[in-house]
A = this chain, B = another copy of it.
């Protein structure tokens, strides 16, 4: 029988041996595991970035997939490590809220705190629980250990406060929550609300800059022109065709984004 799918998501980069060490530990326990890299270039120790990353990909995976996530600024402190089951998928994560946004799309979570040391490496460092706890637990799960063997069920965990946009009539207010590899700015303003308001002419403010062209596809605009559109994840996105919106508009995570009808303001 083919091995279980085990994915890896970390902020370890590509030049340090940490990702490879986790792969070695997993395959050392379950040589049949089928490893899948989700991404190792997450912003170092940025839990909110990880949350948005995971929300953009985990819901697509099939049941029985095991996801190991290591963006863990609290490693070695009293923060718990969790097993989360949602929609038939399994997450092994630090209890820092990185997973809660993704799971809202996957189904009600059942959560265990990792406590049974017999599934960990014998010697556990205080700086690398990914290798010493999460990787071996993932491999044991892949070999058939049941979640309830890993530790007690818990009913409380850290929820990441995710900023909500305000969508009062005729004016949408939110902020940039993710900047992707191209420099595209993803906001927390729902695409549906933007589409409704954007049926007429609108102005999209990003910090102090104003964007007036709304499109469906990047290439509808001239190269270099900032545009507003609905992102592939369903949020208001500001992009520059063939360019980098973050650089052009001097924006980053946290920059305010506002949509108003053009007729509602002068200038």
What residues of chain A have their CB less than 8 Å away from a CB belonging to chain B?
Answer: 2-3, 5, 7, 9, 11-21, 23-25, 27-28, 31-32, 34-45, 49, 52-62, 64-65, 73-77, 125-128, 131-132, 180-182, 216-220, 229-232, 237, 242
Are A74 and B219 in contact, CB atoms less than 8 angstroms apart? yes
Answer whether A41 and B14 are a contact pair too, CB < 8 Å, given A77-B219, A218-B127, A219-B74.
yes
Are A17 and B5 in contact, CB atoms less than 8 angstroms apart? no
Answer whether A62 and B126 are a contact pair too, CB < 8 Å, given A17-B53, A74-B219.
no
Are B126 and A61 in contact, CB atoms less than 8 angstroms apart? no
Are B14 and A39 in contact, CB atoms less than 8 angstroms apart? yes
Answer whether A31 and B232 are a contact pair too, CB < 8 Å, given A17-B57, A217-B126.
no
> For A3, what are the chain B residues with a Cβ–Cβ distance below 8 Å?
2
- Closest-CB distance, A43 to chain B (whole angstroms): 7
Answer whether A57 and B21 are a contact pair too, CB < 8 Å, given A3-B2, A77-B219.
yes
Cα–Cα, bound, A54→B21 (Å)? 9
Cα–Cα, bound, A65→B31 (Å)? 9
Task: Contacts A16-B53, A73-B242 known; list 6 others, CB within 8 Å.
Answer: A2-B2, A13-B180, A17-B52, A34-B34, A45-B242, A73-B219
> For A44, what are the chain B residues with a Cβ–Cβ distance below 8 Å?
181-182
